Structure 1
């Protein structure tokens, strides 16, 4: 690739610094005034370098007498990624990396090192790359995940993170087909090729983007036609759309005005209706409702395969804060239920403290709550998705042969 891609590469290096040093989520990184194509490429390069960071460092390590500063290291990582994964022309990639190094005083003196190392990577790296294991999760995640699921599952999850994530669609009505997709056992559509916005039915609102795992919690509520349903932490609205499409009278509540703007856009595009409430769940008064769905704020560790920046930004301390908030929200969600009403609690987390353990603790706190065991086979899933207390535990290594799924926990509770 020629030097014409230098602006996108420079933006990718800036983004890597913000994620790795400033601990900023990639979604919050500003790519500046780049044209849309360059901005998209910069984000993609950043995400893929982060996805393969451990492998890239392992390939580079033999050619470095000592670890260079982060700016130089990131130039080497970016160049190695383009050489080993993107498969572009080695000559152009090395020249671009050297040009990037020469443009800043902190890296200019290392331009010769960048040139020599990346030429070695181009020659010898592919053989080493194939033998290098996926980037490992940080210790604060590896320990609880390994304890919960075992070492073999931990390695399978890390392999799933390396593989990345396909795009799934939720159809507005059953039986909808979209060219370029395949229908999954749970009813979601998995995109095999093509751009989302160019697919038939996008403008008409016949479907929306939603991971196959994220599409299951709303289905735990069963028949919701004419039922009053409160969707808590609703934005950007995938579950609200599901409930509204099945005939529920949905109240969608979220604390973020900006995120709820996306929900309004999705409702308008799909022609569905819901009452929008901007409020803090802990302060709001409403109901009672026939059913409540709480997709609680969490570490989002189940989505690392599509957000590889998360392990570099999140921390164990943040998870502790989140688990306290989840407990408060779960207690509050119960209060919105009518007697006999149903409550779905879910998180896109791989950590039992944000899933299974939250539900078990809630059942101990509240004598008027009981869990209704879920049959995953009835949802198009597999018996192995069941968790001991009666919920569903989904993992990125499930469906490995057809692209995996996000990690998710969900449980169906009922107020006696």
Structure 2
């Protein structure tokens, strides 16, 4: 009997129950079981992957793993989410009818294994065998164990042709929003780069070219240093312990550059944690007040500043009602948003956010910006930014502020202020980046986060 026929004939057939295998008896099994559980939490419950894989307060199943298995879980989930449509299409070609509607755990198990087979440098046989073992250990999936075995073995044999199959790897609403905002061609380019592992960008205190040479990276026109790959732990790189640099996507570094010379000026970073922009402002010589609603996030910010040997006043407060004793010379509002510009780094975002979330966040941003402009003195500068690709959270918020507040005027951004990247300047004078910008011949060195930034001045 051919493997293909076996795949189809064994679909749903009851199997003889296998004796459960304890996860600790099979190296790697616990990690695969955890990845399957967390993928389900992302897709079914729209739970943030960052929260599930937080090394201090993550999912209990994740917390029970050692560091090596945690890294494996994150790699599996990243591949599974970035390539969800491709994996779904490949599995669909292996079976003669759709999986049962209630077989969600089975689908997640197959996706986890397929992600390893297609995208990770791991033995295919291990991915297949551990998936079959995991199926036998789960009462919901036990009767599908033979089907899991046959499907995954076929995927392994045919992966070269299946991997090239064209598929959309994001929900329909997300793709439609990109097309509406950027057109079909630019939307396709964004989706293509989002499916690839992102590089690591560093903001350095010293000369970017010197640090790029020292770290084996690339000095970007924005002043960031980009690394395509990192051997070993990030913390082991030269300069980390000495506080000479911090991780920050080059797009995220742009808003703080829009203040110009801020030496000795009082500047508030209003949604500051984890502190990348706070560090930029402090490094530029500003007297920084870093505000955040979360005590835990401020604790992390203070730890980051301590490593970087930079100083800032930290304030735990609700920005919506924050009332400082005197106005600031400048304020930065990097507002809470849908994070749709960071999908390359956070591939769960399209699956955990909805259009309704974007509308609610846009309303919150407008409210926070209305208050933020009251915190700056007459003649002072306000920079509003976020990492959303949706104009509702960026351009629309900025336009509405200008329309309703005569005390506020727009100060257009120039290309010289952002490394000469004129293509990022809109006709209004806003900054608008997408993952498809900052192209490089090497995809591993290409792209940037999607970001929006606008600069205003308070006239009176």
Give 1:177-216 correspondences, 5 Å limit. Answer: 177=211, 178-192=214-228, 193-194=230-231, 195-216=233-254
Tell me the distance in 1 between the aligned counterparts of 2:79 and 2:278. 31
- Cross-structure match for 1:74: 108
> Alpha-carbon deviation of 1:319?
1.4
Mapped to 2, the partners of 1:405 and 1:317 lie a distance apart of 26
**Which residue, out of 115, 132, 141, partners 2:174?**
141
| SS of residue paired to 1:305 | coil
The higher radius of gyration belongs to: 2
Q: Which residue of 1 aligns with 2:50?
A: 27
Whole-angstrom distance in 2 between the partners of 1:200 and 1:134: 40
1:187-227 per-residue CA deviation (whole Å, 9 max, x = no partner) reads 10112333310111111111111000001100000110011
Give the total of aligned pairs. 414
Of 52-61 and 83-92, more deviation after overlay is shown by 83-92
Task: Give the structure 2 partner of residue 245 of structure 1.
Answer: 283
> Given that residues 302 and 406 in structure 1 are in contact (C-alpha distance below 8 angstroms), is that contact kept between their aligned partners in structure 2?
yes
- The residue number in structure 2 matching 1:55 is 86
Contact 2:257/2:417 (8 A) holds in 1:
no
Q: Which secondary structure does the structure 1 equivalent of 2:345 belong to?
A: coil
CA-CA distance at 1:349 after TM superposition: 0.3
**Alpha-carbon distance in 2 for matches of 1:97, 1:138:** 26
TM-score by length of 2: 0.87
Q: For 1:34, what is the secondary structure of its paired residue?
A: coil
CA distance in 2, matches of 1:147, 1:92: 43
- Residue 251 of structure 2 aligns to a residue whose secondary structure is coil
Distance of 1:124 and 1:35 partners within structure 2: 33
Aligned counterpart in structure 1 of residue 390 of structure 2, from 351, 362, 375: 351
Match runs of 1:257-268 below 5 Å: 257-268=295-306
Q: Is the 8 A contact 1:376 1:392 kept in 2?
A: no
SS of structure 2 residue aligned to 1:79: helix
Q: Does 1:410 align with 2:453?
A: yes
After TM superposition, give the deviation of residue 383 of structure 1 in Å: 1.6
Quote the offset at 1:92 in angstroms.
2.4
8 Å contact 1:231–1:250 — kept in the other structure?
Answer: yes
1:288 has 2:327 as partner: yes
- Deviation per CA, 1:87-136: give whole Å up to 9, x if none: 4333222111111110011001000000111111112232121132451x
Q: Residues of 1 paired with 2:115 and 2:337: CA distance?
A: 31
Secondary structure of the corresponding residue to residue 267 of structure 2? strand
Instruction: Give structure 2 stretches of 5+ with no counterpart.
Output: 1-24, 53-58
- The farther-off stretch of 66-75 and 158-167 is 66-75
Q: Which residue does 2:56 correspond to in 1?
A: none
Q: Which segment is superposed worse, 398-407 or 365-374? A: 398-407
Relative to the length of structure 1, the TM-score reads 0.96
Task: Determine the C-alpha separation between the residues in 1 that align with 2:283 and 2:132.
Answer: 54
